Amino acid sequence: MQRLYFLFFLSSVTMQSQEQKLVWSQEFNDSTIDTAVWNFETGFGHNNEEQYYTAREKNIFIENGNLIIEAKKEKYNSAKYTSARINTNGKKLFQYGRIEVRAKLPEGKGTWPAIWMLGENRERDGYPACGEIDIMEFVGKDPDHIHGAIHYPELDNIKMNSLTKKFPLPNSEDGFHVYAIDWNEQSISYFIDDELFYCFTIANAERKGRDNIFQKPFYLIINLALGGKWAGKIDNNILPARFYVDYIRYYKPENI
């Protein structure tokens, strides 16, 4: 399967096209989640989030061709809420190419779904040394926008640089949108429904004395958080809340 993309880079007035071939996908058409690809994270989240992540089928499952993460109001291991978070660390890594995720976001204040990536050196070097690519983040208190972001450290691996872009969420009859990044050695471009809304120049992360952290493999993470520093107060009336993922597709240029 091949697709032809016309990429408009913010740093250039020229247009370039590039053929890309589908090299991997998760279509979620099976009855169970593929544990050869996905790890289930458990425990409390970060950023003062209020949910406890579990690997239970009541929090994460496949239904009608969609991966579903369902956040619930329930007492569990000293938490008042439960949800799920999965990642491909140690099982599937990504470096360059286009990653697309077709998803439907939950509604309501306090929800915080995300599609994001961390560098494969996370366990070895820690955070923020590994770098972070946020393909899509959303907070229910701001229902009309999505966010794309990039995070990378200074040479001391303590001070962190963060660049974010907020973009209006387009209308959709069924609530689904395609969130994507197109990543090469020079840039990471962010899209929603094939519309470019942000482009990060990788040279901005260059630091003398080390390799650029965005020129190495990353792994994928999908989760639904509740509350915390950014999402804020949770509206219990909207729970349970569901985050739907229809598919994940990874394309790479023919010459890579």
Of 124, 128, 113, 87, nearest to 244 by C-alpha is 113
d(CA 117, CA 72): 25
d(CA 233, CA 247): 30
Catalytic, 137? Answer yes
Residue found under tokens 């993460």: 69
How many Cβ atoms from other residues are within 10 Å of residue 13's Cβ?
Answer: 7
DSSP 11: T
DSSP 181: E
d(CA 179, CA 111): 18
Catalytic, 50? Answer no
Q: Which is catalytic among the residues 49, 50, 70, 137?
A: 137
- Alpha carbon separation from 142 to 91, 112, 146, 198, 234 (Å, rounded): 34, 10, 8, 19, 13
Of 107, 154, 114, nearest to 134 by C-alpha is 114
d(CA 166, CA 225): 19
How many Cβ atoms from other residues are within 10 Å of residue 245's Cβ?
Answer: 22
Q: Which is catalytic among the residues 50, 132, 206, 254?
A: 132
Residue found under tokens 């482009």: 199
> What residues are labeled active site?
132, 137
